[in-house]
Structure 1
Amino acid sequence: MKIEFKRLDHVMLCIPVGTENEARKFYGEVLGLRELTDLGYVLPKGAMWFEIGDVQLHIRAESIQHYSERHPAFEITNIRNAQEILESHGITIKYESLIPDRIRFSFRDPFGNRIEFLEML
């Protein structure tokens, strides 16, 4: 017997309490994600849900203690364009170790969450 995984459903990131409007601006405007607001039910614990292809990004405010290397990695197309958009908003790009079949970099959102973007070659 084994666990049979179907797909990644969502990734949850945390933000400091009181920064919800800043999160909506960053994820909705800077990254261009669509916030899921008309689900027919209230989201738990004041969470925000955004759509990324067929995966959801869940954001919830909580007390954040320190930075972590934990992160979601999102495959995208036109990674250079994404880099330019992020840098135009003053976001620092960190180039990651080389992996032969992909181009990748990471960055921190305004709340310290690490996010990786990658493009398959």
Structure 2
Amino acid sequence: MIDWRRIDHVQVTIPSNAMDAAREFYGDVLGLTERDQPDSFGEGDTAWFRADDVEIHLAVEPSRERSRRHPAFEVTDVAAARAHLEAHDIETVEEPKIPGRERFSFRDPFDNRIELLQRA
């Protein structure tokens, strides 16, 4: 059983030449606060914004074949959630480290990416 807590973030994808316009829209037009992202994500193809306690992550995705778009849900026990999914033969994938969060992702039967995480 998975003990769901809340949605943590949603990732939205944008074309490779749209980061400046995306920052203007999400920051200036929508009034969201851009925040620093972990060093493990590098520079240039992602930007993170905050709306209260939910984040919106923008990511460049030139190809739409296997999308990076996803919701991320906070759970109370990420290890138990992962074990539950793997017991049902669902493949799980390690994600880049984010300080203070343990996380992984998986694909639903329709190839939608879903991330589960637990805050430290």
- TM-score (normalizing by structure 2): 0.48
Q: Larger relative contact order (C-alpha < 8 A, sep ≥ 6)?
A: 2
TM-score of the superposed pair, with normalisation by structure 1: 0.47
Question: Which structure has more strand as a fraction of its residues?
Answer: 2
